[in-house]
Structure 1
Amino acid sequence: MPLLARMITTPVVVDIRENALAGLRDLLADQRISTGGRVALAVGPRSGARIAADLAPSLRDADVYIVESGTVDAALTLAAQARGTSYDAIVGIGGGRVLDVTKFAAARLGLPMVAVATNLAHDGIGSPVSILDNDAGRGSYGVPAPIAVVVDLTVIRRAPARSIRAGIGEVVSNLSAIADWELARDLRGEAYDGLAVTLARTAAEAVLHHPGSVDDDGFLRVLAEGLVLSGIAMVVAGTSRPCSGACHEISHALDLLYAGRAGYHGEQVGVGAAFASTLWDDPESRERGRRIAECLARHGLPVAPEHLGFTLEEFAAAVVRAPETRPGRFTILEHRDLDKDAVMEAVRSYARNIGAG
């Protein structure tokens, strides 16, 4: 009887623990990523640079490059700087911007990329996507997923609490994205991947139901694992579908319309997921939105547009604009196809129901 299987590209190692950075050189050598430590270290101007300095004694042959911004230009600059040197890999050390820039640059150079996360703000740690600013606003770029992921919980605890909490919104928004994907499957016949959904849903439910907080090491580990699982779900699906739906469309629209005012991506997609769930007619979807909103509130995350710094009118304008940010993607927003007045009423109703309008 034939054994039917599929090959899935995943990180060769995921190391989430206390003091994980101390073992980075051994990880690179043991996994044959770089036996001699000849790597490029891409770091942010603050915490990443300090970490690179700490690693210098064990990675003496590494070169350090500073990533100043999360733009396409920054990624191209990093690729140009590293080109011409025989590196075994590029190691990105920092938050989402640094990791996204490093993934893009690694793809340009054809080098494996190792992600070392210094906060847990979004699922870019293990995803095959780079979110980068460009001349038109902000875009999503497909790239190879990291070959290894390192999360040092000692370092994570030093990150701003707000940046860690933002990751909660990122992970629990998977539930809204999955519902959108199922809708597209049922109404449009879109290809759907049950394994990718299983990974994304498991990540979201684990974070949603964990009783701890960002002050709890156990919760931080579950959150980090959830972000990594979300990234692997996108690798499995070959698309961001299991983790990106109406919630992300709304967030992208906020970025485009109100450049310079947008907050953490995870905060925005969390509110987007809670709001989008109210556009469904069935009780199950309404309950999903309630659970997401309660989780956000419990962890001190924004729940209402005002908590993000936007008026109801501004948020409604973003909801109207949202479908344009991902042409061809079908979500509850495209299905309902509400006009401006209907969207405004839906936003007002949402704000009233959560006691913020």
Structure 2
Amino acid sequence: MPLLIRSVQTPLSIEVRRGAVEGLAALLTDRRISAGGDVAVVVGPGQGQRIVELVGPSLERAEFINISGGTLDSALELGQRLRGRNFDAVVGIGGGKTIDTTKYAATRYGLPMVSVATSLANDGIASPIATLDHDGGRPSYSAHIPIAVVVDLDFVEAGPDRSTRAGIGETLSNINAIADWELAHRMRGEPIDGLAVAMARSGAEAVVNHPGDMSDDGFLTVLAESLITGGLAMAICGSSRPASGGCHEISHALDILFPGTASHGEQCGVGALFCTFLRASTDKAWAARFEQLSACLARHGLPRTPADLGLTDEQFVDAVEFAPRTRPDRYTILEHLALSRDELGERVADYADAVH
């Protein structure tokens, strides 16, 4: 008998609104995650006291755990603490490092995890991946998707604009990642998941075409939803393909060759724009898309050129040349064109001119 449908795991609840952290106890009860509030609440640096004040009165039986987060060691240490008590679930409240640390620990010890994002810097909010520092690198580890996802716009607004800009670059790069996946499908027969593509692309398109800015709740809501659906797209297809292509290879190369250059999302935005420029140089149909993405990055104050990242053209060439080595199993526009160093130098110079 043919398989006519498939089951897709998703969070029980997704909330994007102001005051979401304060409503955490009601969410846990209403969704039957924890009727009595026997949960571990993991918070990142600098936010612990405010979060305790907001949710402590309604979660009297919760244990609050402060972490620095972001490393495999901190995730393992958190896991040991979670084993010390019979929790119904673990709640991670904070930015990407806190959520990824909590996600990994919860997965390792078999606990449902509620993701409460206070920033919109990346798509780890709902993804099945935890990226953690370990042995000088930042490997990604498989994890269960959160049982519930919450984004509190009050915290997002109070946080640094640069974090939100990073999220814009991250979600915009999905357009390039999908183009790379479709290229691999055409050239190498790599299987492609249409549902994952639709989810990742529709969210990115919504952000690119939204007329608002970071002061607009409507725009922030669309951005949050795009990052969430991008993460769920990865869960659906069991791969980072719908959100990671040549753009991410370039970002990873920058992390290795020139650490501290910029945030992951900012680097991905530049990587996506450069990869789109490469596509436009061989297929004129991509020229309008290049202009559209460039205008979006400029409108939100994101870097677009190597100089905007504080790099010389030569350094950016180094990164692009090195980029395919960061994901040897992945076929993108970079592997497809296989440009020599001299050719890359010419393209990077032309790219900088085209942006300006």
Does TM-score exceed 0.5, indicating one fold? yes
- 1:309-328 matches, within 5 Å, as 309-328=310-329
Shift of 1:284: 2.4
TM-score, normalised via structure 1 length:
0.96
Match of 2:354 in 1: 353
Shift of 1:142: 1.5
d(CA) in 1 for partners of 2:89 and 2:305? Answer: 42
What do the CA deviations read for 1:68-127 (whole angstroms, capped 9, x no partner)? 131111111111222231111111100111111111111111111111011111111111
Kept in 2: contact 1:274–1:290 (CA 8 A): no
Question: Could you tell me which amino acid in structure 1 is paired with residue 207 of structure 2?
Answer: V
SS at match of 1:135: coil
Kept in 2: contact 1:48–1:118 (CA 8 A): no
Question: Could you tell me which amino acid in structure 1 is paired with residue 253 of structure 2?
Answer: A
Match of 2:82 in 1: 82
**Root-mean-square deviation over aligned CA pairs:** 1.5
Match of 1:190 in 2: 190
Match of 1:91 in 2: 91
Question: Could you tell me which amino acid in structure 2 is paired with residue 246 of structure 1?
Answer: G
Q: Does 1:273 align with 2:269?
A: no
Question: Could you tell me which amino acid in structure 2 is paired with residue 279 of structure 1?
Answer: L
Match of 2:219 in 1: 219
- 1:288-299 matches, within 5 Å, as 288-299=289-300
Question: Could you tell me which amino acid in structure 2 is paired with residue 323 of structure 1?
Answer: P
d(CA) in 1 for partners of 2:48 and 2:119? Answer: 11
Match of 2:145 in 1: 145
Match of 2:263 in 1: 264
Give structure 1 stretches of 5+ with no counterpart. none
Kept in 2: contact 1:11–1:148 (CA 8 A): yes
Q: Does 1:339 align with 2:340?
A: yes
d(CA) in 2 for partners of 1:49 and 1:309? Answer: 36
- 1:174-213 matches, within 5 Å, as 174-213=174-213
d(CA) in 1 for partners of 2:2 and 2:235? Answer: 25
Match of 2:66 in 1: 66
SS at match of 1:230: helix
Match of 2:28 in 1: 28
- 1:96-111 matches, within 5 Å, as 96-111=96-111
- 1:230-249 matches, within 5 Å, as 230-249=230-249
d(CA) in 1 for partners of 2:341 and 2:136? Answer: 24
What do the CA deviations read for 1:33-84 (whole angstroms, capped 9, x no partner)? 1111111111111125522342111111111222213111111111122223
Question: Given the superposition, is the C-alpha separation of residues 47 and 183 from structure 1 closer, same or farther in structure 2, using an over 3 Å criterion?
Answer: same
Shift of 1:172: 1.0
d(CA) in 2 for partners of 1:234 and 1:38? Answer: 30
Shift of 1:262: 3.0
Shift of 1:236: 1.1
What do the CA deviations read for 1:201-258 (whole angstroms, capped 9, x no partner)? 1001100000000001111111111111111111111111011100111111111112
Shift of 1:2: 8.4
d(CA) in 2 for partners of 1:155 and 1:48? Answer: 13
Question: Could you tell me which amino acid in structure 2 is paired with residue 194 of structure 1?
Answer: G
Give structure 2 stretches of 5+ with no counterpart. none
What do the CA deviations read for 1:309-346 (whole angstroms, capped 9, x no partner)? 22222221111111111120111111111222222222
- 1:148-167 matches, within 5 Å, as 148-167=148-167
Kept in 1: contact 2:22–2:54 (CA 8 A): no
Question: Could you tell me which amino acid in structure 2 is paired with residue 315 of structure 1?
Answer: F
Question: Could you tell me which amino acid in structure 1 is paired with residue 40 of structure 2?
Answer: A
TM-score, normalised via structure 2 length:
0.96
Kept in 2: contact 1:43–1:52 (CA 8 A): no
- 1:94-133 matches, within 5 Å, as 94-133=94-133
Kept in 2: contact 1:312–1:348 (CA 8 A): yes
Equivalenced residue count is 354
Match of 2:308 in 1: 307
Kept in 1: contact 2:21–2:54 (CA 8 A): no
Shift of 1:272: 0.4
